[in-house]
């Protein structure tokens, strides 16, 4: 989560940073209902490192595209995990 906070803080937007802190708190709550949240986010650690490498090497456009794909993938994964858990409870 520190990686994500650092990316958002690069915007220098107090409003966006506050929004991120709120949404990350909600995500932590959602992760709390999962049996093994590490399984959900562990695959993204390498993706975080790759995005950081792109940014450090000045490949900002490629980093932005990679981040967009990353966010779409993670959104689908989180929603799927939530639905699976919800169906187990029902």
Predicted TM-score (pTM) above 0.75: no
Closest Cα partner for 29 from 87, 77, 82? 82
Q: What is the pLDDT of residue 11?
A: 93
Checking if the pLDDT of 36 tops 80, the result is no
Question: Which pLDDT value is given to residue 39?
Answer: 72
Query: SS3 for the chain, per residue?
Result: CHHHHHHHHCCCCHHHHHHHHHHHHHHHHHHHCCCCHHHHHCCHHHHHHHHHHHHHCCCHHHHHHHHHHHHHHHHHHHHHHHHHHHHHHC
Residue 12 has pLDDT above 90, yes or no: yes
38-86 pLDDT, tens digit per residue, is 777 788 889 999 999 999 999 999 999 999 999 898 888 888 878 887 8
């Amino acid at each position: 989560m520190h990686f994500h906070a650092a990316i958002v803080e690069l915007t220098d937007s107090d409003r966006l940073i506050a929004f991120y802190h709120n949404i990350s708190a909600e995500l932590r709550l959602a992760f709390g209902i999962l049996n093994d949240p590490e399984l959900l986010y562990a695959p993204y650690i390498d993706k975080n490192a790759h995005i950081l490498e792109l940014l450090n090497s000045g490949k900002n456009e490629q980093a932005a595209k990679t981040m967009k794909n990353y966010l779409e993938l993670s959104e689908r994964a989180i929603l799927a995990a939530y639905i699976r858990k919800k169906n187990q409870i029902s």
